[in-house]
Copies of this chain bind each other. A is one copy, B any other.
Amino acid sequence: MAEFLCGLDAAVAVVGGKWKPLILWALSVRPRRTGELRRELTGVSEKVLVQQLRELERDGVVRREVHDQVPPKVVYSLTDDGVALDRALRPLGDWGEERMVEINSVRQGGAVAPP
């Protein structure tokens, strides 16, 4: 029912979750356990974190490795497609970084420079 109209559409759908950009950024630094991610992404609930990780896994950009031990240990990392996605996101991240302040102010304050 989604039916993407162009590649950009599909890519935005993959990274479009509220926490997905941050998850991908964290995993691009190094693989992480669930708890590490939860502590890194302050404010995320466990439900949504696991949900978005599963979606990223389904979309083929994140790998989930279960180490069968007690207590459980699950490690998430980027697949080859995930690494390629991360590289494709770099220019976009740079674009955003340069404009973060303006975008932020324009989205809440309204005016650019309050007196």
**A: which residues have CB within 8 A of B?**
1-16, 21-22, 24-25, 58-60, 81, 84-85, 87-100, 102-104, 106-108
Which residues of chain B are within 8 angstroms of A5 by Cβ–Cβ distance?
22
How many copies the complex holds: the figure is: 2
Chain A contact residues: helix, strand, loop or mixed: helix
Bound: A43/B24 CA distance, A: 31
**Provided the pairs A15-B12, A106-B58, A106-B60 are in contact, do residues A95 and B7 lie with their beta carbons within 8 angstroms?**
yes
- List residues of chain B with CB within 8 A of the CB of A88: 91-92, 94-95
Bound: A60/B16 CA distance, A: 21
- Report whether B14 and A96 are in contact in the complex, using a CB–CB cutoff of 8 Å: yes
Measured CB to CB, the nearest residue on chain B to A97 is B7
Known: A87-B91, A108-B1. A10 touches B58 (CB 8 A): no
Q: A9-B21, A11-B95, A60-B102 are in contact. List 16 more A-B contacts (CB 8 A).
A: A1-B108, A2-B107, A4-B100, A6-B21, A6-B96, A7-B96, A8-B89, A8-B92, A8-B96, A9-B96, A10-B103, A11-B93, A14-B96, A58-B107, A60-B99, A87-B91
